[in-house]
Structure 1
Amino acid sequence: MSETLSPELQSWVGRTRVVEEDVGLAAVRRIAGMLDLDPDAFRPGDPLPPHWFTLFFADVARQSDIGPDGHPKPGVFLPPIPLPRRMGAGRRVAIHDCLRVGDIASKTTEVAAILPKQARTGFITVLTMRHTIRRGDQVIAVDEFDAIYREAVKPGEKSGTGAPVAAPMDAAWQVEKHLSAPLVFRYSAVTWNAHRIHYDADYARQEEGYPNTVQNGGLTMQLLLDAAVAQTPGRLRGFGARLTRPIYVGDTVTLCGHAPRDGKAMAWVQDRDGTLCAQLDCEFG
Structure 2
Amino acid sequence: MAGTTGSSLSDHVDGWRPGPITQVDTLDAAQATRLAATLGLSETLADGDPLRLPWHWIFFSEWPPTAELGADGHPAHGHFLPPIPDRRRMFAGARITSTAALILGERTEKVSSVASMTEKNGRTGDMLFVTVRSEYRQGGAVVLTEDQDLVYRSDSGDARPFDRPSPDLADATAPWTAEPTPDTPLLFRYSALTSNAHRIHYDRPYATGVEGYPDLVVHGPLLATYMAELANAHGKSLRTFSFRLRSPLFLGDRFRVEATPDDDGGAVELAVVTGQGTVHVSGKGEFA
Alignment of 1:1-285 (within 5 A): 1=4, 2-3=7-8, 5-6=10-11, 9-13=13-17, 15-39=19-43, 41-152=44-155, 157-159=160-162, 170-231=173-234, 233-262=235-264, 263-285=266-288
Count matched residues: 279
Offset of residue 56 of structure 1: 1.4
Name stretches of at least 5 consecutive residues in structure 2 with no aligned partner: none
Structure 1 residues 179, 252: CA separation in 2 closer, same or farther (over 3 Å shift)?
farther
Q: Distance in 1 between matches of 2:153 and 2:23?
A: 27
Output one character per residue of 1:164-195: Cα deviation in whole Å (capped at 9) or x when no partner.
xx999741121111011111111111111000
**Moved beyond 6 Å, runs of 4+:** 166-169
- In the superposition, the TM-score normalised over structure 2's length comes to 0.87
Measured against aligned partners, the alpha-carbon deviations of 1:95-150 in whole angstroms (never above 9, x if no partner) come to 11112221110211112222222223311111111111111311121111111123
1:11–1:62 CA distance, 2 compared to 1 (3 A): farther
Q: 1:179–1:251: 8 Å Cα contact kept in structure 2?
A: no
Amino acid at match of 1:242: R
Query: Root-mean-square deviation (CA), in Å?
Result: 2.5
Q: Percent identity?
A: 34
Q: What displacement does 1:250 show?
A: 2.6
Unaligned runs of 5+ in 1: none
Distance 1:191 1:235 in 2: 22
Structure 1 position 48, deviation (Å)? 2.0
Query: Does the 8 A contact of 2:157 with 2:210 survive in 1?
Result: no
Going from structure 1 to structure 2, the CA distance change for 1:176 and 1:151 (only over 3 Å counts) comes to same
Asked if the contact 1:179/1:252 (under 8 Å) is kept, the reply is: no
Q: Secondary structure at the match of 2:118?
A: strand
Seen in structure 2, the aligned counterparts of structure 1 residues 235 and 76 have a Cα distance that, compared at 3 Å, is: closer
- Name the CA distance, whole Å, in 2 between partners of 1:276 and 1:236: 22
**What is the TM-score of this pair, normalised by structure 1?**
0.88
Give the superposition deviation at 1:14: 5.4
